[in-house]
Amino acid sequence: MRFRAIPFFLLACLLGKAAVLDRIAIVVGAGEGVRPSIVKDSDIDRDIRLTSFLNGEPLDLSAAARKKAANRLIDQVFIRREIELGDYPAATVEQADQQLAKLEKQKFRTTAALQEGLRRYGLTEADLRFYFEWQLTILRFIDLRFRPAVLVTDDDIAKYYQERQAALSRAHLGKSSLDDLSEEIRDILTGERVNQQFFAWLDQQRKASKIQFHEESLG
């Protein structure tokens, strides 16, 4: 199946003059019967600003930073498609607001300080709320999609305990025996294996998809 070429610039006419609204940075195709997905310049810019803001890092809009953000957004294209196909539940605005309130309390103390921090990074509260809502949706998807296939045996737990007993005891004060730590170890191993399956799935999606970069838009 052939898709018609997508214009590199999205244009709008106002009073007889063309104004550039946004620019396509990446087109992610997925083969027969699946429409391509678009990642725009503004998506990359917003992702960088949000990531820098949440990590407390200086804003870096370099070509290298844009390429890292682009790769994160490509992964999100595959996740969004799978969520839609599998009808996985989305997080709610209320849950996003809870994360927003937690961030404000733990890192900024006051609403005014949070708003000032957002302003410095060129963001709005709506940007942050949408980010939290989407990240919570992704976490829920990963758990529902990959956790059921994970099996952690008693032998796996015993081996992990033997190899990391001292570190586990330091991390979980008051617990030192295998019985004391078995549930913690099960959670650790389950999380690791869920992540392994998730990243293997993402790798398969990339290999099966045609990804077209507009390099001039990424650097």
pLDDT digits (tens, 9 = 90+) for 145-177: 999 999 999 999 999 999 999 999 899 888 889
State phi, psi for 19 to the nearest 5 degrees: -125, 130
pLDDT at 40: 94
Residue 69 class from Cβ within 10 Å (0-12 exposed, 13-18 middle, 19+ buried)? buried
Residue type, 166: A
Burial 87-97 (b: 16+ CB within 10 A, else e): ebeebeeeebe
| C-alpha R_g of the chain | 22
Number of H helices, E strands in the chain: 7, 4
Residue with tokens 């009073």: 15
SS3 content of the chain, % helix, strand, coil (to 5): 65, 10, 25
pLDDT at 79 over 50: yes
User: 0.75 cut: is pTM over it?
Assistant: yes
**118-153, pLDDT tens digit by residue?**
999 999 999 999 999 999 999 999 999 999 999 999
